[in-house]
A and B are shown apart, each in its own frame.
Chain A
Amino acid sequence: MNQKDIPALDPGTPAILEMNHISKTFGAVTALVDVSIRLRQGEVLALVGDNGAGKSTLIKILSGFHHPDSGTIVYQGKEVHFRSPRDARAQGIETVYQDLALINDLSIYHNMFIGREYHKRILGVKLLDNRRMRDLAQTHLNSLGIQIPSVNSTVDLLSGGQRQSVAVARSIYSSPTILVLDEPLAALGVREGAHVLGLIQNLRRQRSVSIILIVHNYNQVFEVCDRINFLHSGEIVLDASTSETSEEELIRIVKSGLGRQAIAAAALEVGPGPDQMARINPDQS
């Protein structure tokens, strides 16, 4: 579970996703101003920033839940417009939202398969294949080492950690191309948190899925991420690989007056890193 276990991502790896110049306002509230992020194939990108910085809005635009006022999304080399989360899921982008999007009145296995149900035909009528979904859900949860009382029980009977685990398990069931995790560790205890971090590390080791991770705990960021984007007041103020920055620098950014100029000055003071432009714009590095 150490950073050193996993070789660094080849810097020449092509981007799987580019969100360019995304802006979004909700009525009088400006959530995002000209935000661009770039995710490389197999990369784990951390999106950090204070509450209200716009992290969740950004990923909800990626998942098709919100629509950007302006800006483009280029996914697998093509410009895409996700009209709904259904669209994004169909194209291999899975999201674990902060609220987990679990349906309390449904069983765990129905929650696992909602939106991609298995059917069987009985007398020509398309009915849910509950047995198949139940078995597949059980097998999948077992393979991830997630322990729950029974896949038949409704999710309202689960503890916070179990709910989080089920939501993460659901998101990786279909082997997505991009996995977005919004605070996947928020409701978890130390042991459960370590388990989810372990799942992310495993995915990262295989480099088959690209991950955007929203986390609050900077310690955890450095454990599992390749690169960090710092979002403040709807703008990206830092873009650096984990090896180029440090926890102290992140904390300094949070504490400093913020805004781009202040950050630039602060970043230069920190010293040995590459020059400031490279930090703001990774394309030139």
Chain B
Amino acid sequence: MARTGRSSQGAAPKVGIQLPNTVLERALVILSRYREASIAVVALILAIYFQVGSNGAFLSSQELSVVLRDTGRFGLIAVAEVMLMITGEIDLSVGSTFSLAPYVMVLTSIGWGVPLAISAVVGVLLGVLIGVVNGIITVRFRVPSLITTVGTFFLLQGVVVSIFNSQPIVAPVQEPFNEIFGENLYSPTDSLWSWHGLTAFTPFLWTALVVGAMALVLNRTTFGLHTIATGSNIVGAREIGVRTDRIKVYNFMIAGAFAAAAGVINTAQFASADPLAGGPFLTLQAIAAAVIGGTSLLGGSGTAIGALLGAFVVATLNNGLVMLGAQATVSDIYLGTAIILAMILNVQVDRMRARRRI
């Protein structure tokens, strides 16, 4: 460790950009440059591990459908969480929005006889409204979003359970709405390449589509640029004319909308709206996915693709360990460890980048 490649050359510059010296630092630089790729490797290793451990059952279409549906659910919320975390904020209320939006969707559909497709839009708009409220409380009243959204989490959770005493309500099934947005028509006799085969993965496919779109938004639009600027240097961004408050509120709206959409998809799948479908656990799983995907809470950096890969890792740990015969609760030990390790890595990679600044 003492003699590194650079210093042994004798003429190493003392000022300017310090190139990485130790093996660890080099590894961190590679990780920072190829964040998504390194999480993809982790995801692949996990998939292979469970595939071997379960004697080939993990990658069967049945099991994969379950894992990818979970990936879709976590991923859709995680990608919105990534956007917020890039601005330096967080939304813990997504778990309640996930329960409330489809509940309202089903109630409006049954109560007023509105088609599900329209009441679904009502549900998603409710999510947007929740985002506006979270955002305005955070930027106008300067309440840290961690606290704001804990408050709205309990508030909304209380609202949804009090409507019908925590009872799930049966949702109407209206084709093609349900089969497009999550209902699983796949049976083992179907070909994987048929419409029925496709419906085994619709929640995942919707999420993949949204994640692709958000990757584009983040990297190739003014909104994405200003989102990164807001989290990277909020004072500087304001000085140069970025409307940081608006950017934050918009991202809260995205988080509310995506959480609501994930809830709608979940209800379309099970034809039932459960007030306890989301809850704190879903919020934390989505944040875990974002963190494992390489987004730190420090703001200014994060990846949309990483959120999807992180969601796959969380879903794989949840389902794979159970397949191997572990108790469902045991997977939390691995998940917890993964979150902590990922976070240490994220912070180290960020510090590494900061240290290279002279």
Interface of chain A, helix or strand or loop or mixed?
Answer: loop
Q: Are B220 and A127 in contact (CB under 8 A)?
A: yes
Within the complex, what minimum Cβ distance (angstroms) separates A43 from chain B? 24
Q: Are A101 and B16 in contact (CB under 8 A)?
A: no
Q: Which residues of A contact B226 (CB under 8 A)?
A: 114
Query: Does A102 reach chain B (CB closer than 8 Å)?
Result: yes
For B86, the closest partner residue in chain A by CB is A105
Within the complex, what minimum Cβ distance (angstroms) separates B328 from chain A? 39
Q: Are B242 and A63 in contact (CB under 8 A)?
A: no
For B230, the closest partner residue in chain A by CB is A103
Q: Which of A70-102 contact B (CB under 8 A)?
A: 84-86, 89, 95, 97, 99-102
Give B217-242 as 1s and 0s: 1 = Cβ < 8 Å from A's Cβ atoms.
Answer: 00011100110110111011111111
Query: Does A130 reach chain B (CB closer than 8 Å)?
Result: yes
Within the complex, what minimum Cβ distance (angstroms) separates A230 from chain B? 25
Q: Which residues of B contact A86 (CB under 8 A)?
A: 241, 243
CA distance A89 to B238 in the complex (A): 12
Query: Does A274 reach chain B (CB closer than 8 Å)?
Result: no
CA distance A127 to B220 in the complex (A): 6
Known: A84-B243, A102-B233, A157-B17. A128 touches B220 (CB 8 A): yes
**How many residues does chain B have at the interface if contact means C-beta atoms less than 8 Å apart?**
30
Q: Are A104 and B233 in contact (CB under 8 A)?
A: yes
Within the complex, what minimum Cβ distance (angstroms) separates B251 from chain A? 16
Within the complex, what minimum Cβ distance (angstroms) separates A127 from chain B? 5
Known: A104-B357, A106-B228, A159-B358. A128 touches B236 (CB 8 A): no
Query: Does A117 reach chain B (CB closer than 8 Å)?
Result: yes
Query: Does A119 reach chain B (CB closer than 8 Å)?
Result: yes
Q: Which residues of A contact B353 (CB under 8 A)?
A: 154, 156
For B228, the closest partner residue in chain A by CB is A105
Q: Are B239 and A156 in contact (CB under 8 A)?
A: no
Q: Which residues of B contact A128 (CB under 8 A)?
A: 220-222, 225
Give A154-165 as 1s and 0s: 1 = Cβ < 8 Å from B's Cβ atoms.
Answer: 101111100000
Query: Does B300 reach chain A (CB closer than 8 Å)?
Result: yes
Within the complex, what minimum Cβ distance (angstroms) separates A204 from chain B? 24
Q: Which residues of B contact A117 (CB under 8 A)?
A: 222, 225
Q: Are A115 and B357 in contact (CB under 8 A)?
A: no
Q: Which residues of B contact A65 (CB under 8 A)?
A: 238-239
Q: Are A156 and B301 in contact (CB under 8 A)?
A: no
Q: Which residues of B contact A105 (CB under 8 A)?
A: 228-229, 231-232, 300-301
Query: Does A110 reach chain B (CB closer than 8 Å)?
Result: yes
Q: Which residues of B contact A84 (CB under 8 A)?
A: 238, 241, 243
For A163, the closest partner residue in chain B by CB is B357
Interface residues of B (CB under 8 A from A): 15-17, 216, 220-222, 225-226, 228-229, 231-233, 235-243, 300-301, 353-354, 356-358
9 closest cross-chain pairs (CB), A and B: A86-B241, A101-B236, A105-B232, A101-B239, A105-B300, A115-B241, A156-B357, A85-B241, A103-B229
